[in-house]
Amino acid sequence: MSKRIITINNLSKKYIIGENIHGRGARTFRDIFDHKLRSLFSRNSNKKHQDTILWALKDVSLEVNEGEAVGIIGRNGAGKTTLLKVLSRITEPTKGTVTLRGRVASLLEVGTGFSGELTGRENIYLNGSILGMRKAEIKKKFDEIVAFAEIEKFIDTPIKRYSSGMYVRLAFAVAAHLEPEILLVDEVLAVGDAAFQKKCLGKMGDVAKGGRTVLFVSHNLSAINQLCPRTILLDNGRVVRDGATGETLQCYAAMMTSADDPKGNLSSPRLRLSESNPHSRFKWAYIYILNSQGKFTKEIRFGEPFEIVFGGCASGKCEMVLIGLGLISKLAGVIFTTHQTYNGLPDTLPGGSSEFRVKIDPNMLAPGMYEIEIAAAGPNVSDRIPVATELHILSIPITPDRSWYTPHKAGVVDYPCRWSVVIPSKNPFG
């Protein structure tokens, strides 16, 4: 039976805007005296005080077991980072309790826990000491940390001279390799390049498989889907959903859709007027996605065919070279590109509007978040929109025979391979 390593009971965190200047955050006797004096002579003091209260967390209760990898998602301001700061003891809760059974390593902001005047080498030993590790233990892990961070040439340089990418690489390497029982990671990994992010996700997976606990805050839903079997959705400081990642991502997508369109049906296409090249004779004007019922949406069920519709406007006739569309996974990069060429066909596009349609049937995309890129190129034409719209493939299968599918299956496509089993009558190798 798994051991409980994090227990959170009715946790709340209240902020009062401006409090650090005149209220509890005051650091000198004069500041405190000024605050009391202002309160005494202000008739509306209580009303103003009440109007500035912000609950970053409200009555949050959670339990996390040893060895779990748990994702935390939500809109900006939902309380994700505040929760990790409370768990890291950077911020004290207003009320409620947190029980942690084990050493905690956190990577929340660039610079947290490091001294800029010390070298990379010195900061590794400093952080290990903070975690309660002996010098011999840190020395044993030292070479592995430096190799992972890829900063061998700069290990004896004061880290105030590091780039933000070098800083994050070292901070993550220290946090992941010094064997804390609990690893807390915020969106700070976005500072690194794609290759390093992939490397970090692999390391966090290894940490969880090794019996340690990972809490991962990210807006990269594909990364959450890949790493975390369980995900918590926060909104306005409260837990909206806590369960299997696939179901939680669907809940989040529905919440975001209703925020964009109160009717929840996206009854009109989303226009995206292009300003990428003001000199292009052709400019993109709109893009939208149609599901198998022909309704506007950004959410497609796993296995469901869909159609991408996009159009633009030409100022006069255009001899087009190509129209292109690309589908990009937020985690894995480009999945595919497709083009419609117009070589040798003069005046293919007349002045005015033109519309293009690309049908994805069958849809073999694995559940996750994708981006769609569109481009046009030709004489006097050059217009490209890298992120024209987003697409969310839900883990709910379109047909019953796909019910076996799990969102944690590796890969970004579910290619329909044909299998057969043959039992030879004799050994083919003699």
* Residue-wise pLDDT tens digits, 73-101: 988 889 998 999 999 888 899 999 999 99
Question: Does 31 lie in the same domain as 62?
Answer: no
* Spatial separation of the C-alpha atoms in residues 148 and 169, rounded to whole Å: 8
- The answer on pLDDT for 5 being more than 90 is yes
Phi/psi at 290 (5° precision) = -115, 135
The confidence band for 30, taking pLDDT boundaries of 50, 70 and 90, is: low
Instruction: Read off the pLDDT of residues 214-271 as tens digits, 9 standing for 90 and up.
Output: 999 987 777 787 788 899 999 889 998 898 887 787 677 666 655 554 443 433 444 4
The confidence band for 429, taking pLDDT boundaries of 50, 70 and 90, is: low
User: Which among 347, 277, 355, 352 has a CA at the least distance from the CA of 318?
Assistant: 347
In a domain, 73, yes or no: yes
Phi/psi at 21 (5° precision) = -95, -45
Is-contact 294 306, C-beta < 8 A?
A: no
In a domain, 41, yes or no: yes
Question: Does 254 lie in the same domain as 219?
Answer: yes
Point out which residues pair with 397 in neighbouring strands. Answer: 302
In the chain, pLDDT over 90 holds for what percent of residues? 19
Question: Does 294 lie in the same domain as 348?
Answer: yes
In a domain, 288, yes or no: yes
* Spatial separation of the C-alpha atoms in residues 305 and 296, rounded to whole Å: 13
Question: Does 250 lie in the same domain as 305?
Answer: no
Angle at 183 between CA 252 and CA 66, to 5 degrees: 85
Question: Does 26 lie in the same domain as 61?
Answer: no
Average pLDDT over residues 13-20: 74
Q: In what order do the strands lie in the sheet with 306-314?
A: 270-271, 282-290, 306-314, 352-360
pLDDT of residue 198: 76
* Spatial separation of the C-alpha atoms in residues 265 and 133, rounded to whole Å: 55
pLDDT of residue 404: 44
Question: Does 171 lie in the same domain as 279?
Answer: no
- The answer on pLDDT for 300 being more than 50 is yes
- Indicate whether this model's pTM tops 0.75: no
Question: Does 208 lie in the same domain as 84?
Answer: yes
Is-contact 51 44, C-beta < 8 A?
A: no
In a domain, 134, yes or no: yes
Identify which has the larger pLDDT, 188 or 96: 96
Average pLDDT over residues 312-316: 76
Peptide bond into 379 cis (omega under 30): no
In a domain, 421, yes or no: no
pLDDT of residue 363: 83
Residue partners of 430: CB distance under 8 A and separation at least 6: none
Question: Does 92 lie in the same domain as 44?
Answer: no
Number of domains making up the chain = 3
Residue partners of 410: CB distance under 8 A and separation at least 6: none
Average pLDDT over residues 198-202: 79
Question: Does 314 lie in the same domain as 232?
Answer: no
Task: Give residue for tokens 């939208």.
Answer: 288
